[in-house]
Amino acid sequence: TLILKYPLDIEHTRLAADIGRNAIFKKDGIPGPLYRGWMFTMFRSRGAATILVLFDEVNKFVDWSTL
């Protein structure tokens, strides 16, 4: 979902900064401004995803009612 949501967040931020949509697309083209920096965001979210998976795996083996 991040790949689908990221361009909308970028466009929202740039429009909120009062940069016109036509000026953005004229300067950078269509895909350029929408996906710039998404790879960094994917790597940044990798840690949270790893912790979530580890928590689920530990939960399978630990009986929390006996602690």
pTM of the model: 0.41
Would you state the pLDDT for residue 51?
A: 92
Domain ranges of the chain: 2-62
**What sign for the dihedral angle of Cα 59, 62, 63, 64?**
negative
The string of pLDDT tens digits covering residues 1-32 is 667 777 778 777 777 666 666 676 677 666 66
Q: What share of the chain is helix, strand, coil (3-state, %, to 5)?
A: 80, 0, 20
Comparing 55 with 30, which gets the higher pLDDT? 55
Mean pLDDT confidence for 28-45: 72
For residue 48, give the amino acid letter: A
**Averaged pLDDT of the chain:** 75
